[in-house]
Structure formats: structure tokens, C-alpha cells
Amino acid sequence: MRRVSRRGLLRAGSAMGTSLLLSGCDGVFESPSLRGVLDFGQWMSRNMQRLLLVRQPLAREFAPSDISQDFPVNGTTMPGGFDYFRMMTSGFSSWRLTVDGLVRRPLSFSLEEIKALPARTQITLHCCDEGWSAIGQWTGVALSRILESAELMPNARYIVFHCLDALEQSFDGSGIYYESLDLFDAFHPQTILAYGMNGGPLPVPHGAPLRLRVERQIGYKSAKYVTRIEAVDRLDTIGRGRGGFWEDRGYQWYAGL
Amino acid sequence: MLSHPTNEAPDQVPPGAPAPTGDKPGEPPAREVIYRHSVPVRVTHWINVLCLTLLLMSGLRLFNYHPALYWGDDGYRGKPAFLSIGAAINRHNGAVVGVTQVAGLTFVTTGVLGVSYDPERGMVRRAFPAWLTLPGEPGLALARDWHFLIAWLFVANGAAYLLFGFLSGHFRRDLAPTSEQLHPRHILSDIWDHMRLRAPRGEAARTYNLLQKLAYLIVVFLLLPLMVLTGLTMSPAVTAAAPALFDLFGGRQSARTIHFLVANLLVLFVLVHVAELLIAGAFNGTRAMITGRYVLKPERRT
């Protein structure tokens, strides 16, 4: 993520002052010179929250009776394309999860192989940046277990989740959903790859056959339809370079708030 | 020098001494200027004006992405909402109507809430109108950036103000009601003065009146801290570190509802605050909050 220098901050601060004085509101709020100030806000929030979470507390887990009756579906509800359709109709028997990038042992799993790994079930609150929240029960394998068996190389800093769904139609693939975490959140015990929801298999609108759950961040970090996990040392060479589908479209990479 | 206004002639009257009246028949009463607001109070006041304005505008924009309020941990489309702002089609003429529902009551709010006019796009479905919210795209991401950045400034400013208020004795001296003010007769006359929109003059205008003090105390020690805490309760990272916040407010959606309601109370406070300023003298009051100097109006002659 971008570092904020003190000089850049001062420059951005004075830019905010001058542009507030010189132009009307609309110009100010869209001015690129303000980006540095807003980035400083993100930097503050991320670092203060990291400080708060340094002992890696768990997000609250709820009781089965708290589970929301009708967990909303956001983003893709059904990935397009014949490949996904064929996988879905065959019960995802041909689906595979690949783990590659900066790992010593690239891996490939079938859904059955993932289900055979030790499972974790958690009932958590999903917080959408739009403002709603819903409680769901998720069953899956800890991401840390997958990463440990793939053996990350020392220069791996981020874990990228490539998905099967295109949330935006494009020729160059830039509309395909993806997300990324750094190792701080990737190795958190509640960061799981879920194949079960509310006691049954993960429904297609919620990301079947496998989705990510990141319980201490806002909903868009919990990517659905995950098919490939890539360990990388930098994010700027992937997609449009900001670490995720929504991040490439102006959203915050760190979404703990 | 502004920092030592008490050295100037009009301020030489010690507190409690009789005000110079110049009450000889035919002569106008003398004007007395007091030093009312210290530098930290003035600086933090105006930073707070900026913060609350931007927090409100970005907050209303955030609200527009899910214009419904619930009670409890979860809340989403389809769950009964305590308050919701939306749009509906009038079956008779096909027009789009803004609809606001509060606690089971339905109001048509076309033009302001639910549906409002946009110079480029005509009538647009959105909870709060564009002129009340922070502009720019992508709207949700930008509103989040602004809201959280200004929240940091607001918290830093508030912390500086609280530190100053306690250490300097500002709270004890200027905001704590005196025992005389708490006398029932005094309370009643204070309420009566407010009802008649009569601003205090002379000696009474030297200090804040009781209702004014209570309003400030409620805002400083109750409403603004509530805004910070309910705001934090909406962050999944913060509640992982401090799950007790869920218990304190009854869940994330309850916290969001309280956040919205208290924001409304703050807007109400600002409206009354500005109204009182107009009643007591807009120029004098605004100047006092900028330069620190406040002109005491002479007592009414009876």
C-alpha cells in the first residue's frame, strides 16, 4: 500500500486549504490533489486498527438462533459462462482450487479434498459497506492451513483470491472479481475458505463452491467463487493494481471500518 | 493585544463589580466589552463546525446506500425497519413518489426524501437529496473516505477541547451550573425567558444561562461521545477488539440507528444554537467566537 510522506501530507493539506478557498464544493470533493489527504485517513485507520488487533482477537461468534432468516446476496448471483454452468450441474466435481505464486509447493484441490481437511464452523456478522448486516453460519477450512501446506516463500506478502465471476463485462478480464489480503488477516483463525452455509452446502448466489470469509473486514473482502489462490510480493501488477475488483474502482483496500 | 483584552479599559471592571451604567438621565448606558471565549475554545469550535458539517454530509450520503434503520445485530432489505426512506409509483398517474416510513407511519416526502430533483437528471430516487450530501464518485467509497478522515480530525479536536476544558477550569467555571442557577425560581424564570425569546442582558449575559449550559453539557458529554462510540460499533475490526460495544448498544444495527438519531439531535442542537445566536445578536455572538470579545448589552429599563 502507498506510503504517505510527511511532505506529501503537508502539500496535500495546503492543497486542500487552497482548493477549498478557490473553488466551489463540487470541484473540491473530486479534486485529485485531495487524494493524498484521503489516503492519509486510510493510513491512519489501518494502522490504528492493526494496533487494536495486534493480539489477533476473534470477531464475535453468535448463537444458531441469531442466524438471519434471509441473508442478502450482493454482487454476482450466478456466474456467467458455460464452464461454470457445467461445473454447477455436475455438483462441482470438475472444479479445482489451485494454490500457486510465491509458494514452495504449488497445490491443487478438488472440493472433496478440501472438505476432507479439518473444518471450522463459525456464526458471524457480515457487514456490508452499504450499511446492512446479516448473520450467517460458515463452514470451511482455515486459509492458514492451506497456506501452511503450500509453504509460502519468505518474500510472499499478499494472498490474492481469483474468482470465477465477472462482475463487469470486459474483453481483457479486468471485470473478473478478485480480492487480496496481507498475511496479518490471511493467517487469522477466522479467515476461512467456506464451502458450507447455515448447515447446508454453500448456495450458488453466496459463492459456491468456495468463498472466502474475512470476519474483521467489510463484506466485499469476502470474495465468492474463489478458484485460485496466489501468493505475491506486490499487488500493483494484478488487475488494475489496487488489490481487488472494488479497490480498482476506488474502494479502500483495508476495509476494517 | 487580543490575548490580554483584560488590560484594556472596557474590561477593567472585575467580575462581580457593578457594571458601569452611566445611568444619568438622558445619557445612554456605557457599553461594556468582555473577553468571553479563550483561544482554544474558539479554534476547536470552528474546527468542530467544519467536522460536523462534513461528517453530516458524508454520513447522509452513506445512509443513502441503505436508507433503512433497524434494531438488533442484523438488518437488511426484507427485515422490518424502524425507519425507511424510499420511492413508490403512484398508481393513478405513474408519478414517482418519495415515501418515508417511521415506526409504522407513512409520509409522502416527494422533493426532499425518497425522490428529489436533480438539474441534470430530473426527479431522482434517492433518500437524501444531493444538495445535502457530499458530491463525487464513486459515491460510497468517497463518502467512506471523507467520513473516516474527518472522524479522525473530529476526535483529535474533541480530545484537545476536553483536555483544555478540564485543565483550564473552563468546564467548572463556565459550563457547570452554579447553585444559584439551580434554584427552582431561577430555573423557571430561565425557561420563561427562553419561551419569550428574551436574550439575557447586562450582568446576566456575562455568563451562560442554565439551559444554555445544560445544552452544551449534553452535547459535549453525551451526544458527541455517543456518535464516536456508535460509529466505532459499526466497524467489524473494532468490535473484534471490543465486542462489549455490541452489548452496550444492542447490536451493530442498533448502533447505526442510534448514530443516525443522535446525528439528528445534533442538527436540532445546531438549529437552536443558531436561532439563539440570532435572538441574542448574530454579529456580537459571531464576533465573540472569532475575536473573543463580547459586548454586554445594557440592562433593559423598566
Mean pLDDT of chain A: 91
Minimum distance, in Å, between the CA of residue B132 and any CA atom of chain A: 12
In Å, what is the CA distance from A125 to each residue of A62, A110, A131, A135, B231?
A: 8, 28, 12, 4, 16
Q: Would you say residue A57 lies in a domain?
A: no
Cβ neighbours of residue A16 closer than 8 Å, sequence gap 6 or more: A28, A33, A34, A37
> pLDDT value at position A36?
92
**B24 compared with A94, residue with greater pLDDT:** A94
**Whether the predicted pLDDT of B217 surpasses 90:** yes
Q: Which three cell numbers stand for residue A67?
A: 442466524
A85 and A210 belong to one structural domain = yes
Residue B200's pLDDT is: 85
Among A9-13, A203-207, B149-153, which is the least confidently predicted range?
Answer: A9-13
Q: Mean pLDDT over residues B164-180, rounded?
A: 96
Q: Is residue A238 part of a domain?
A: yes
- Identify whether A235 is part of a domain: yes
Q: What pLDDT band is residue B13 in, cutting at 50, 70 and 90?
A: very low
Task: Say if residue A220 is in the same domain as residue A114.
Answer: yes
pLDDT given at position B198: 87
SS3 for A52? helix
- Does residue A59 form part of some domain? no
Q: What is the pLDDT of residue B84?
A: 95
Are A68 and A48 contained in the same domain?
no
pLDDT average, residue stretch B97-103: 93
Helix (H) / strand (E) containing B293:
strand B293-296
According to the model, what pLDDT value does residue B12 have? 42
Average pLDDT over residues B73-101: 93
Please determine, for residue B141, whether its predicted confidence score (pLDDT) is greater than 80: yes
> Least CB-CB distance to A130: which of B135, B140, B150?
B140
Q: Are residues A42 and A137 in the same domain?
A: no
Please tell me which of the candidates B62, B234, B237 has its beta carbon nearest to residue A49: B237
Nearest CA in chain A to B65: A130
Same domain, A43 and A91: no
Contact between A41 and B65 using a beta-carbon 8 Å cutoff: no
Which pairs count as long-range contacts for B203-207, CB under 8 Å and 24+ apart, including other chains?
A: B203/B19, B203/B299, B205/B280, B205/B294, B205/B296, B205/B297, B206/B15, B206/B34, B206/B296, B207/B174, B207/B178
Percentage of residues of chain A with pLDDT beyond 70 = 88
Question: Do A129 and A187 share a structural domain?
Answer: yes
pLDDT at A19 over 90: no
Residues of B with CB under 8 A from a CB of A: 62-63, 65-66, 68, 73-79, 134-138, 140-142, 144-146, 148-150, 152, 234-243, 246, 252-253, 256
Separation in Å, CA B47 to CA A108, B33, B124, B158: 56, 25, 33, 9
Indicate the residue of B79, B149, B240 with minimum beta-carbon distance to A37.
B149
Nearest CB to A132; choose among B77, B134, B137:
B77
Residue A135 lies in a domain: yes
Please count the helices (runs of H) and the strands (runs of E) in chain B: 10, 8
Contact indicator for B55, B238 with CB cutoff of 8 Å: no
Q: A88 and A38 share a domain?
A: no
Average pLDDT on B86-93 reads 91
Q: Which residues of A touch B65 (CB under 8 A)?
A: 129-131
Do A85 and A92 form a contact (C-beta atoms < 8 A)? no
Any idea which residue has 462510540 for its cell? Answer: B229
Tell whether the model's pLDDT for residue A92 goes beyond 60: yes
Q: List, for residues A36-76, the tens digit of each pLDDT value.
A: 999 999 999 999 999 999 999 999 999 999 999 999 999 99
pLDDT value, residue B9: 41
Tell me which residue of B152, B142, B132 sits closest to B228, measured CA to CA.
B152
Alpha helices in A82-201 (DSSP H): 82-89, 111-116, 143-150, 183-186
Give the count of beta carbons closer than 10 Å to the beta carbon of residue A245: 24
Q: B140–A129: do the CB atoms touch at under 8 Å?
A: yes
Of B205, B206, B211, B216, which Cα lies nearest the Cα of B190? B211
State residue A18's pLDDT score: 46
Write the Ramachandran bin of B269: left for phi over 0, alpha for psi from -120 to 50, otherwise beta: alpha
Q: Measured between CB atoms, does A41 come within 8 Å of chain B?
A: yes
Q: Is the pLDDT of residue B26 over 60?
A: no
**Domains along the sequence of chain B with CATH:** 5-66+137-296 (1.20.950.20), 68-127 (no CATH)
**Would you call B211 helix, strand, or coil by DSSP?**
helix
Q: Are residues A77 and A142 in the same domain?
A: yes
CA dist B122 and B115 (Å) reads 10
Instruction: Verify whether the Cβ–Cβ distance B237 to A53 is below 8 Å.
Output: yes
Q: Across the interface, which of B63, B73, B146 has its CB nearest the CB of A135?
A: B73
Which of A:209-228 have CB within 8 Å of B? 215-218
Q: Report CA torsion sign: B169, B173, B174, B175.
A: positive
Pair A109, A92: CB distance under 8 Å:
no
Q: Are strands B105-108 and B96-102 parallel, antiparallel or unpaired?
A: antiparallel
Same domain, yes or no, for A123 and A29? no
Q: Are B293 and B36 in contact (CB under 8 A)?
A: yes
For range A127-151, the mean pLDDT: 98
Are residues A147 and A82 located together in one domain of the fold? yes
Q: Within a domain: residue A255?
A: no
The mean per-residue pLDDT over the stretch B224-239 comes to 98
The stretch B10-34 carries a mean pLDDT of 55
Query: pTM for the whole thing?
Result: 0.88
Measure Cα distances from A254 to A42, A49, A124, A221 in Å: 8, 10, 19, 9
Query: Is cis: bond before B40, omega within 30 of 0?
Result: no
Candidates A90, B172, B224, A178; CA nearest to B164 is B172
Is pLDDT at A12 greater than 70 in this prediction?
Answer: no
- Residue B102 has a pLDDT of 93
* Residues B268, B279: Cα–Cα separation, whole Å: 16
| Interface touch B148/A42, C-beta < 8 Å | yes
Residues A132 and A190 in one domain: yes
- pLDDT for B176 beyond 70: yes
CATH number of the domain bearing residue A172: 3.90.420.10
What's the pLDDT at A244?
Answer: 97
Residue A141 to residue A228: CA distance in whole angstroms? 15
Banded pLDDT at B121 (limits 50, 70, 90): confident
Q: Which three three-digit cell numbers place residue A109?
A: 484441490
Of A104-118, B156-170, B201-215, B233-247, the least confident: B201-215
pLDDT for A107 beyond 90: yes
| Residue A58 domain-assigned (yes or no) | no
Among A153-157, A158-162, B90-94, B261-265, name the one with the lowest average pLDDT: B90-94
The number of folded domains in chain A is 2
Query: If pLDDT is split at 50, 70 and 90, which confidence band does B6 have?
Result: very low
To the nearest whole angstrom, how far is the Cα of B282 from the nearest Cα of chain A?
A: 24
- The verdict on a CB contact (< 8 Å) between A49 and B238 is yes
Domain that holds residue A32: 6-52
Say yes or no: A24 and A108 in one domain. no
Is A176 contained in some domain? yes
Report phi then psi at B180, rounded to 5: -65, -40
pLDDT per residue as tens digits for the range B271-296: 999 999 999 999 999 999 999 999 99
Residue A7 grid coordinates? 511532505
pLDDT bucket at B27, cuts 50 / 70 / 90: low
